[in-house]
Amino acid sequence: MNIAFIGFGKVSYTLSKIIQSSEIDLITSDENRSRNTIELINKADISVYDSFCEALAGADIVISAVSPSKAVEVAGKYGKYCSGIYLDLNNISPATTEKINNLLDNFVDGAIIGKIDSESPTLFLSGKNASELLFLNEFLNVKIISDKIGDASKLKLLRSTYTKSLSVLLIETYDLAKKLDLEDEFFDTLSITEGNDFKDKSLSRINNTLKYSKRKAEEMEEILNYFNDDDLDMIKAALDKLKQF
């Protein structure tokens, strides 16, 4: 079996380390890739082709893990080379998954729940072809939500609505605690109700939010675009703050 990656950032690189089997050949292309991406590809145990056309043509599964804003463009550009399953793992809205589904006949909607580099990453899938990816249970936790495109993305979107807003609030509160020279006491106080590992998880969340603020802002814009008829004042405020980081 051949699994090809479009985009080779943290998600694809981590998956290339997780999905290790003598029966699976992992492939990608360095066509028009940045220097940093090529360096990451070279660190992975993966076959590299000169063009995506060549890499995707023989793939049983194609995994798209690019910037959310590029998901539809990438599907339209490279999906035609894919004769197997096209799995999108981008943090995109259900409306965007429908656009991709209209372009491709072999599409599966995927959503990584939590951190991809956690001890046991979870993958939500939806779509009529989702069951063909159940073999990935050998490498990570796979849960099929339904046979309806968009359901996996809806759950991811709902989760992101909560977690990303909470992360921004956490950063603001932590900054206040530092100004008061009470950051350690702040975490100790919250740990009483939130658990002993609250501080470590919070600092990890803060660092992750600040490091990937641009991508997280794109994801929050997807949320606002999808729920455009709803009152989402907290999301709008969190997005404005994210753009300041």
Model confidence pLDDT, tens digit, residues 99-154: 999 999 999 999 999 888 888 899 999 999 999 999 999 999 999 999 999 999 99
What superfamily does domain 154-242 belong to in CATH? Answer: N-(1-d-carboxylethyl)-l-norvaline Dehydrogenase; domain 2 (1.10.1040.10)
Which range (83-87, 126-130, 225-229) has the least confidence? 225-229
Reported as a single tens digit per residue, the pLDDT across 26-76 is 999 999 889 999 999 999 989 999 999 999 998 999 999 998 889 999 999
Give the residue from 21, 24, 62, 26 showing the smallest Cα distance to 44: 26
| CB burial string 194-204: b at 16+ within 10 A, e below | eeeebbeebee
Exposed/middle/buried for residue 160 (C-beta within 10 Å: 0-12, 13-18, 19+):
buried
- For residue 26, the SS3 value is strand
What per-residue confidence (pLDDT) applies to 19?
A: 95
What per-residue confidence (pLDDT) applies to 244?
A: 92
The H or E element containing residue 141 is: strand 141-146
What per-residue confidence (pLDDT) applies to 32?
A: 87
Dihedral class, residue 56 (left if φ above 0, else alpha if ψ from -120 to 50, else beta): alpha
> What global pTM score does this model have?
0.84
Which range (169-173, 176-180, 225-229) has the least confidence? 225-229
CB atoms within 10 A of CB 61: 22
pLDDT surpassing 80 at residue 20: yes
CB atoms within 10 A of CB 67: 17
Q: Whole-number mean pLDDT of the chain? A: 93
Q: Percentage of the chain with pLDDT > 90?
A: 80
What per-residue confidence (pLDDT) applies to 56?
A: 93
Evaluated on CA atoms 76, 78, 81, 87, the torsion sign reads: negative
Of the ranges 30-44, 166-180, 220-234, the best mean pLDDT one: 166-180
Fold match between domain 2-147 and domain 154-242: no
Domain segments of the chain as ranges:
2-147, 154-242
Query: To 10 degrees, what angle do helices 198-211 and 183-194 make?
Result: 120
Name the pLDDT band for 229 (thresholds 50, 70, 90).
low
What per-residue confidence (pLDDT) applies to 26?
A: 97
Name the pLDDT band for 158 (thresholds 50, 70, 90).
very high
What per-residue confidence (pLDDT) applies to 93?
A: 87
Q: What topology is assigned to 2-147 in CATH?
A: Rossmann fold (3.40.50)
